[in-house]
């Protein structure tokens, strides 16, 4: 239990800090006044003031924020600080007083830092563990791989046109697609061969999800003696870049399924599930824990890019609208109104994620 609690604090604390530092550093770089840097929401637990900025550790550790003066929409999220501020006179250092490019830089800096962290962590993991190339070592009888015509020694190059560079990428892609047709490109005897496979579906009980979980499989095992190799620093960086991109695509794919109705909202997880998974990863060692943190960092980046006011993506929508309108911004009243709507949506998603976590815990 102690490991789970501590690892959860590390995961959420570090990734929130990384994200907010992106906004903070960018704001300082373009001379925007930052009055508060907060890790957590709600009442202040501890803090100090240095210069014009108050640095705060708040009671609810489910996010953070950088309060930039003159940013329309702050009124909607003022309750996050546990207090409201009196009106102030406009200043040349206000967020809305800065040119469009500067505001864009500040908004995009948070998710950029999350992607950078994920890339660095994935690179470290690849450098530490090496890689298992996607080489087929053994085929399990009466499985989709046999039916599709896989052979021992096949090097898997692509799945549905997506480049596969490591065995774990293959497992990730196939595992998330049970009972799904997949176009496979393999290298066999120096030639490229196209195969069509429909994944099988395995149903296993997950102690973390407290429910039966469906996984896709092909029925192949890696040729470990041939596949395992160490990576140079350049190769590790390439692997880190590729894994960051692959997880970004997977998360956007999951969100697309939710929007189109082909996915279930029950698959959403909240801080309780993150805590359980972080504890499990921490018990496996440093590289497993960093790998998990990298995945969560990509999740945070992608979710923050959703075009919902109050999230970074919503602010980017306002900036895009200003750009296409010839520099005429969306009115403060409309921005505030949409930010309030966005706050309600985000709070609703958080409640849903919490509810899913609780239902998993009690076995509903």
pLDDT tens across the length of the chain (364 residues): 788 889 988 999 999 999 999 999 999 999 999 999 999 888 889 999 999 999 999 988 878 899 998 886 555 555 555 555 556 678 899 998 899 999 999 999 999 999 999 999 999 999 998 888 899 988 999 999 999 999 999 999 999 999 998 888 898 899 888 889 999 999 999 999 999 999 998 877 655 555 567 789 999 988 877 767 888 999 999 999 989 998 998 888 888 877 777 666 666 777 777 787 888 889 989 999 999 999 999 999 999 998 888 889 998 999 999 899 888 888 877 877 887 787 788 778 777 777 766 766 665 5
How far is 88 from 69, CA to CA, in rounded Å? Answer: 9
Which is nearest to 250 in space by CA: 327, 123, 126, 159? 159
Residue 239 lies in a domain: no
pLDDT of residue 275: 81
Per the listing, tokens 């923050």 go with: 304
Q: How far apart are CA 116 and CA 190, in angstroms?
A: 36
Are both 108 and 63 inside the same structural domain?
yes
Token readout for 79 is 């309750």
Task: Check whether residue 139 and residue 100 sit in a common domain.
Answer: no
Does some domain include residue 312?
Answer: yes
User: Is residue 280 in a domain?
Assistant: no
Do both 94 and 173 map to the same domain?
no
* Domain boundaries, position 158: 131-229
CA dist., res. 128 & res. 236, Å (int): 9
Mark whether 66 and 140 lie in a shared domain.
no
State whether 121 and 154 are in the same domain.
Answer: no
In angstroms, the CA 177 to CA 319 distance is 37
- 210 located within any domain: yes
Taken as a whole, the chain contains a residue count of 364
Residues 136, 81: one domain? no
The total of structural domains in the chain comes to 2
Domain closes at, from 169, 196, 229: 229
Beta bridge partners of 278: none
Rounded Cα gap, residues 147 and 169, in angstroms: 22
Residue 114 covered by a domain: yes
Burial degree of 50 (CB within 10 A; 0-12, 13-18, 19+): exposed
Does some domain include residue 138? yes
Q: Is 142 a catalytic residue?
A: no
- The CATH number linked to 198 is 2.30.42.10
62 and 169 both lie in a single domain: no
In a domain, 309, yes or no: yes
Specify whether 6 is located in the same domain as 121: yes
Q: Are 196 and 161 in contact (CB under 8 A)?
A: no
CA 159 to chain centre: 22
Comparing CA positions, the residue from 217, 215, 226 lying closest to residue 152 is 226
Closest CA to 77 of 357, 310, 248: 310
> Is residue 85 domain-shared with residue 151, that is, in the same domain?
no
* Structural domain contains residue 255: no
Nearest to 117 by CA among 222, 32, 249, 20: 20
pLDDT for res 360: 63
Do 321 and 351 sit in the same domain of this protein? yes
C-alpha distances in Å from residue 11, one per residue of 112, 116, 143, 245, 355: 18, 16, 38, 21, 21
Domain end call among 229, 258, 287? 229
Q: Do 121 and 159 share a structural domain? A: no
Asked if 121 and 17 sit in the same domain, the reply is yes
Helix H segments across the chain? Answer: 2-29, 74-77, 100-129, 144-148, 167-175, 224-227, 233-260, 271-284, 286-304, 312-324, 332-362
**Residue ending a domain, choose from 179, 203, 229:** 229
């Amino acid at each position: 239990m102690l490991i789970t609690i501590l690892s959860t604090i590390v995961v959420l604390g570090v990734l929130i800090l990384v994200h907010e530092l992106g906004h903070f550093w960018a704001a300082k770089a373009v001379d925007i006044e930052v009055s508060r840097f907060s890790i957590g929401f709600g009442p202040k637990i501890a803090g100090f003031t240095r210069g014009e900025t108050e640095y705060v550790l708040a009671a609810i550790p489910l996010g953070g924020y950088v309060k930039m003066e003159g940013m329309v929409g702050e009124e909607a999220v003022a309750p996050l600080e546990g207090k409201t501020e009196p009106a102030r006179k406009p200043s040349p250092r206000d967020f809305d007083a800065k040119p469009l490019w500067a505001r864009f830089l500040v908004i995009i800096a948070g998710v950029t830092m999350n992607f950078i962290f994920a890339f660095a962590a994935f690179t470290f993991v690849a450098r530490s563990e090496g890689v298992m190339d996607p080489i087929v070592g053994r085929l399990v009888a009466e499985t989709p791989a046999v039916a599709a015509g896989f052979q021992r020694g096949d090097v898997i190059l692509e799945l549905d046109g997506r480049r596969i560079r490591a065995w774990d990428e293959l497992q990730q892609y196939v595992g998330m697609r049970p009972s799904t047709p997949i176009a496979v490109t393999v290298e066999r005897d120096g030639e490229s061969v196209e195969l069509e496979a429909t994944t099988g579906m395995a149903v296993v009980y997950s102690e973390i999800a407290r429910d039966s979980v469906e996984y896709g499989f092909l029925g192949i095992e890696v040729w470990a003696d041939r596949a395992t190799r160490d990576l140079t620093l350049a190769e590790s960086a390439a692997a880190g870049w590729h894994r960051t991109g692959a997880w970004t695509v997977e998360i956007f794919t999951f969100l697309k399924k939710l929007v189109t109705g082909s996915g279930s909202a029950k698959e959403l997880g909240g801080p309780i599930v993150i805590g359980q998974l972080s504890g499990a990863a921490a018990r496996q060692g440093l590289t497993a824990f960093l790998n998990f943190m990298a995945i969560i960092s990509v999740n945070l980046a992608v979710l923050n890019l959703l075009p919902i006011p109050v999230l970074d993506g919503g602010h980017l929508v306002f900036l895009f609208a200003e750009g296409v309108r010839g520099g005429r911004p969306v009115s403060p009243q409309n921005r505030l109104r949409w930010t309030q709507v966005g706050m309600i949506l985000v709070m609703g998603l958080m409640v849903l994620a919490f509810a899913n976590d609780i239902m998993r815990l009690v076995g509903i």
